[in-house]
């Protein structure tokens, strides 16, 4: 009847996934169908991901966040990464990317898909090196495609594919140079493979073959920005923009095959460049949803990049980005642990919500209104219920209790809220 969510939408069919997303977002389902048909909204939902609770990403919808996990050669604790996934789901992340690059990656991926109600994403090129246990130059184009198909079979909802870095864009990068060169792990692998073999990027050269796999399983293609800036010095340069133009061309080709598309965006960028870059991406990529890593707005804060990222993410999403990849305090330093992951998730969720207020997303301001109402009423239990991180709010409160229980130890009896409430009621105020 239909092959993908986009195919159904173009045919005027409203799928179960569209109905669920429309209800979650409080939008009319017919409007949502039109947005999916035009490519401005994606519903990543692999046919083999049976436990999925679908989410929409794109125009007019809440800003979603993604959490990265995965095993590596230096940190290959299988169970720990699954615990991270469970924690990410508990903390209301809408997506998890499995970036595993070592060991029993397929076993881990299948367990993750089996237990996860949230979208699962992967970067197959990471997996290829570990899966085949070969030097990069010895992996064939055929083997890259075999790994992609395995990920699709396993139920992955979206995959990052670095199809925009081809011989031409690589030449532009080499001619222009950069302070931090290529910082995308997947992008650097494809670039190195092309340099070592002398061949064209197989994902670009055989793009139609890739789309056949994605259409078969209804995998959303997340077109990776191999040439994203790794420092504010390199942002909005010729390499980044040329690749973005190519990604726009690849977007239209995917839509012709009814494959849903997201575009991945810059990693490091000065604040004043963020809004223009969001406009540029939406223009060059025809309104496709934009997925950004940060952007990190200054390069000098290792250990605090969840903050530099949240600043950039809020600005990006307020100006059109649809999907934020979280960044943790461990960015640039180590594989994050569970505590790092939690800090990154909360920071990203704050950024996403702040942006949704600015974008006028339905219901966004209501949450803040309810919190302000609880604060006016000095209703501490209600404040904790509404807090984005209830556990931390309660812990801070309990760690320093005031003499008057309806105040806090910052102001005590000088509490502005309490005294103003009393003054308005004509009640006696006792500050001493």
The annotation places the binding site for [4Fe-4S] cluster at: 408, 411, 415
Residues with Cβ within 8 Å of 195's Cβ and at least 6 positions away in sequence, in order, are 170
Residues with Cβ within 8 Å of 381's Cβ and at least 6 positions away in sequence, in order, are none
- Per the CB < 8 A criterion, the answer to whether 218 and 5 are in contact is yes
Q: How far apart are CA 242 and CA 164, in angstroms?
A: 9
Burial (Cβ within 10 Å: 0-12, 13-18, ≥19) of residue 369: exposed
- Per the CB < 8 A criterion, the answer to whether 290 and 266 are in contact is no
- Per the CB < 8 A criterion, the answer to whether 232 and 297 are in contact is yes
Structure tokens at 337: 């642990």
Q: What is the 3-state secondary structure (H, E, C) of 345-386?
A: HHHHHHHHHHHHHHHCCCCHHHHHHHHHHHHHCCCHHHHHHH
Q: Binding-site residues for Zn(2+), please?
A: 268, 332
Which phi and psi angles does 355 have, rounded to 5°? -70, -40
Q: Binding-site residues, please?
A: 68, 97, 126, 162, 184-186, 225-228, 264, 268, 291, 332, 408, 411, 415
Q: Binding-site residues for substrate, please?
A: 68, 97, 126, 162, 184-186, 225-228, 264, 291
């Amino acid at each position: 009847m239909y092959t993908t969510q986009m195919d159904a939408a173009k045919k005027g069919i409203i799928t179960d996934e569209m109905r669920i997303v429309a209800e979650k977002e409080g939008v009319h389902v017919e409007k949502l169908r039109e947005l999916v048909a035009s490519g401005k909204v994606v519903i990543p939902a692999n046919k083999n991901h049976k436990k999925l609770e679908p989410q929409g990403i794109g125009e007019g919808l809440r800003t979603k966040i993604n959490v990265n996990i995965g095993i590596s050669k230096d940190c290959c604790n299988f169970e720990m990464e699954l615990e991270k996934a469970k924690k990410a789901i508990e903390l209301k992340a809408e997506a998890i990317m499995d970036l595993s690059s070592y060991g029993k990656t397929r076993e881990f991926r299948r367990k993750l898909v089996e237990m996860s109600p949230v979208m699962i994403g992967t970067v197959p090129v990471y997996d290829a090196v570990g899966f085949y246990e070969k030097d990069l130059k010895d992996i064939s184009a055929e083997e890259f495609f075999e790994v992609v198909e395995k990920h699709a079979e396993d139920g992955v909802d979206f995959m990052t594919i670095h199809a925009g870095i081809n011989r031409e864009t690589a030449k532009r990068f080499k001619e222009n140079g950069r302070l931090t060169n290529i910082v995308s792990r997947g992008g650097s692998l494809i670039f190195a493979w092309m340099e070592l073999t002398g061949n064209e990027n197989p994902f670009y050269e055989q793009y139609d073959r890739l789309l056949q796999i994605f259409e078969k399983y209804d995998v959303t293609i997340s077109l990776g920005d191999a040439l994203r800036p790794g420092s504010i010095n390199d942002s909005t340069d010729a390499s980044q923009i040329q690749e973005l133009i190519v990604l726009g061309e690849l977007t239209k080709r995917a839509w012709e095959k009814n494959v849903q598309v997201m575009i991945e965006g810059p990693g490091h960028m000065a604040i004043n460049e963020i809004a223009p870059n969001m406009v540029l991406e939406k223009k060059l990529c025809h309104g496709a949803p934009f997925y950004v890593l940060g952007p990190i707005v200054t390069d000098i804060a290792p250990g605090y990049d969840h903050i530099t990222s949240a600043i950039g993410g809020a600005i990006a999403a307020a100006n059109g980005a649809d999907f934020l990849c979280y960044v943790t305090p461990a960015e640039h330093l180590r594989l994050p642990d569970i505590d790092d992951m939690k800090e990154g998730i909360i920071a990203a969720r704050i950024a996403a919500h702040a942006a949704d207020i600015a974008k006028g997303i339905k219901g966004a301001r209501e949450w803040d209104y309810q919190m302000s109402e609880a604060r006016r009423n000095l209703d501490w239990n209600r404040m904790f219920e509404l807090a984005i991180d209830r556990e931390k709010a309660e812990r801070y409160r309990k760690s320093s209790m005031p003499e008057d229980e309806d105040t806090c130890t910052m102001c005590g009896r000088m509490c502005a809220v309490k005294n103003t409430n009393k003054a308005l009621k004509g009640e006696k105020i006792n500050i001493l």
